[in-house]
Amino acid sequence: MNADAPDPLDPSKGRAVRGMFASIAPRYDLLNRLLSLGLDQGWRRKMIARLPALQAGDRVLDLCTGTGDVAQALCAGLPDDVVVHAGDFCEAMVERAPEKTAEQSRPASFFVGDVLALPYPEATVKAITVAFGLRNVQDPAAGLVEMARVLASGGRLIVLEFSKPKTKLFNALFRLYVFGILPRVGRFLSGSSVDAYRYLPESVWAWAGPEVLARQMEAAGLTVLEQKPLLLGGVMLHVAERRG
């Protein structure tokens, strides 16, 4: 019997989301590779390719870092004099991350913390990445405001997130996969009593979508530079820049 997954639209879902990710943390990476059919790391690399030009001492922040896959790609791809920090509010997820960058010439610094209260002063971060995390934040619009607060003027926010494909045929196939197959495989392999892989498609379908996200970004003080569909729109890359 599976325990109830969080309600995707509940603004107080934070605790339930944290518990859900804690319950799937041991198998999270394996399930990511398997359920994305090996495509997820390529999407993260595309995100990193959108980073702005960085200088020595610039700070890059990966939020909702989970088990640290984006932080790992950042450490591998950026010059050693760029500072990489990464945080997540689920300790069971983020405690798996440090080993992924420990062997690199410049490891990332990981912290446990909430997107809604970032431990940084205003305008002190040059770029923020968020992969498959924003949809899970209790109040995504408030999260964007908090990210805009810590971003330096001209600093960049890059969000990778699932989306509902626009093409009818692919939308139908995608729905079949994410509602029909993914929850069954996820439940079986994750060993979790929380139905995280049912929450996943439900939260994607309840998610605001690119147009609303663009409006929320603009309202937070960001200028949207790009919204690029990947996987025929099943995944979207959103790039925005801090105004003024």
Ligand X SMILES: C[S@@+](CC[C@H](N)C(=O)[O-])C[C@H]1O[C@@H](n2cnc3c(N)ncnc32)[C@H](O)[C@@H]1O
Binding site for ligand X (CB under 6 A): 14, 17-18, 21, 32, 64-66, 69-70, 88-90, 93, 114-116, 131-133, 136-138
Rounded to whole angstroms, the Cα distance separating 93 from 113 reads 12
Q: Of 89 and 174, which has the nearer Cβ to ligand X?
A: 89
Closest approach, Cβ 237 to ligand X, in A, equals: 13
Strands 109-112 and 125-131: unpaired
Q: Of 158 and 240, which has the nearer Cβ to ligand X?
A: 158
- Sign, CA dihedral 144-150-153-159, equals negative
Q: Of 80 and 91, which has the nearer Cβ to ligand X?
A: 91
Q: Of 133 and 210, which has the nearer Cβ to ligand X?
A: 133
Closest approach, Cβ 30 to ligand X, in A, equals: 12
Q: Of 95 and 114, which has the nearer Cβ to ligand X?
A: 114
Closest approach, Cβ 244 to ligand X, in A, equals: 26
Residue with the closest Cβ to ligand X? 66
For 55, 99, 110, 116, 222, the CA distances from 218, given in Å and listed in that order, are 26, 36, 29, 18, 5
Residues 6 or more apart from 227 whose CB is under 8 A from it?
A: 210, 213, 214, 236, 237, 238, 239
Beta bridge partners of residue 151, listed in sequence order: 125
Closest approach, Cβ 80 to ligand X, in A, equals: 23
- Sign, CA dihedral 109-114-120-124, equals positive
Closest approach, Cβ 212 to ligand X, in A, equals: 18
